Amino acid sequence: MLIVKKFGGSSVANKERIFNVARRCIEDYKKGHDVVVVLSAMGKTTDELLAKAKEINPNASKREMDMLLTTGEQVSVAMMAMAMQAMDVPAISLNAFQVKMNSSSRHGNARFKRIDSERITNELEARKIVIVTGFQGINKHEDYTTLGRGGSDTTAVALAAALHADKCEIYTDVDGVFTADPRIVPNARKLDEITYDEMLELATSGAKVLHNRSVEMAKKYGVQMVVRSSLNETEGTVVKEVVKMEKMLITGVASDKNTARISVIGVKDKPGTAFKIFHRLAKNNINIDIILQSVGREGTKDISFTVSQDDLQDALRVLEENKESLTIQEIKHNAKVAKVAIVGAGMMSNPGVASQMFEALYNYGININMISTSEIRITVLIDEKDVDRATLAIHEKFALGDV
Ligand code: ASP
Ligand code: MG
């Protein structure tokens, strides 16, 4: 059996944890399995590197940022190989160049294009444990790229797909995927299983447990993933296409504070206005989330939308620079907003889920700014200060927790 095992930063944060991970990998190796390990940078390394870069140059180029950030993963894979060798197990660390993990060119948010399996396969045939850097790729200019924060999950799934692995295990510091963030909702319940679609909606709505693109890729290539703890032997949560019928209407609640709202006021109420605004933003690589357009008045209308807080300044600059051509009279923004979403395949066939969610918020006096829905998700935009209370209220309303 070929197993891909991915460990997050907290799972390799120090010497003891590195040896703990080494032991878990060696267990599988000694059973005769082929083991490929994907690692994140140790502990808070990536955050620290970001902070250091900011001290030197707050507008550092994205190429150099990737050059810097990829060092974090390189440290952890080398350390892990050393730990395994210290335990007399043959192991080798490889980076994106050595494996040849080709990605798109976009620094800081690259996507994998093609992954060579040859080098890894050869090392596995030589009965080594192969330890690969997560989070990084190489582009056509032979420069390092990174996949976006949390991207090591996507490295693991991409390798599992390329190597036709039998298992893809994502190890973290929690026991699996929960009905809500247990730090916010103490009685949140661990899920045994979740569908790709639900997991994708949760990850995109702010659940940090998996990188959303890893779920997208797992679905595309049919890679079954399991999310579990590196600190205990608990079973974890399986992410797959179909799950056994659960009676739950809602699978989970997620929230995201990394959101800001922008309103463009008094734009011309005629064909092409929305196209031009969002085309400008897209050209500048700014992702738009919820969009709300007001009913027109006297030939003008207002459009509000959300962007991630990281993109807020860029978005405001682009709009300001094109204010006239986009017929904008005024630009407003609010960074103190947050999204709360409920996700569940069960809501497709059950009317009234939205009203139940809104009732929960009403009962707690929480005002809704914007609403957006998909077949299996309802998202509301609310004041940032209300987000934890809202999560608790909704979780309670749908009785998602352990009793
Ligand atoms: N080290 C990177 C980050 O912190 C990638 C990862 O952890 O998956 O975002
Ligand atoms: Mg992660």
The size of the chain, in residues, is 403
Residue 96 CB contacts under 8 Å (≥ 6 apart), including other chains: 70, 103, 133, 136, 137, 138, 144
Q: For the range 272-280, what are the long-range contacts, defined as Cβ-Cβ under 8 Å and sequence gap of 24 or more?
A: 273/301, 273/303, 273/326, 273/327, 274/303, 276/325, 276/326, 277/303, 277/319, 277/326, 277/328, 280/318, 280/319, 280/322, 280/326
Residue 9 Cα to ligand 1 midpoint, Å, equals 7
Residue 245 above 70 pLDDT? no
One-letter amino acid identity for 50?
L
Beta bridge partners of 307: 260
- Percent of the chain past pLDDT 90, that is, above it, reads 93
Q: Which CATH architecture has domain 2-173?
A: 3-Layer(aba) Sandwich (3.40)
Number of helices (H), then strands (E), belonging to the chain: the values are 12, 18
Place of tokens 């309303």: 397
Q: How far is the CA of 177 from the centre of ligand 2 (A)?
A: 12
Quick one: which ligand is closest to 13's CA?
A: 1
For the chain, the domains span: 2-173
Ligand 1 contact via 252 beta carbon (within 6 Å): no
End-to-end CA distance of the chain, in Å? 39
Q: Quick one: pLDDT band at residue 285, thresholds 50, 70, 90?
A: confident
7 Cβ inside 6 Å of ligand 1: no
Q: What is the pLDDT of residue 247?
A: 64
Strands lying side by side in the sheet with 370-374:
291-293, 300-308, 252-268, 330-343, 377-383, 370-374
Mean pLDDT (whole number) for 199-228: 96
- Evaluate: CB of 149 within 6 angstroms of ligand 1: yes
Task: Kindly indicate the confidence band of residue 155, based on its pLDDT and cuts at 50, 70 and 90.
Answer: very high
Q: Which residues of 120-156 are buried (b: 16+ CB within 10 A; e: fewer)?
A: bbebbeeebbbbbbbbbbbbeeebbbbbbbbbbbbbb
pLDDT tens-place string over residues 47-84 = 999 999 999 999 999 999 999 999 999 999 999 999 99
351 pLDDT band (50/70/90 cuts)? Answer: confident
In the predicted model, what is the mean pLDDT of the chain? 95
Residue type for position 217: M
Q: Which of 152-166, 282-296, 366-380 comes out lowest in average pLDDT?
A: 282-296
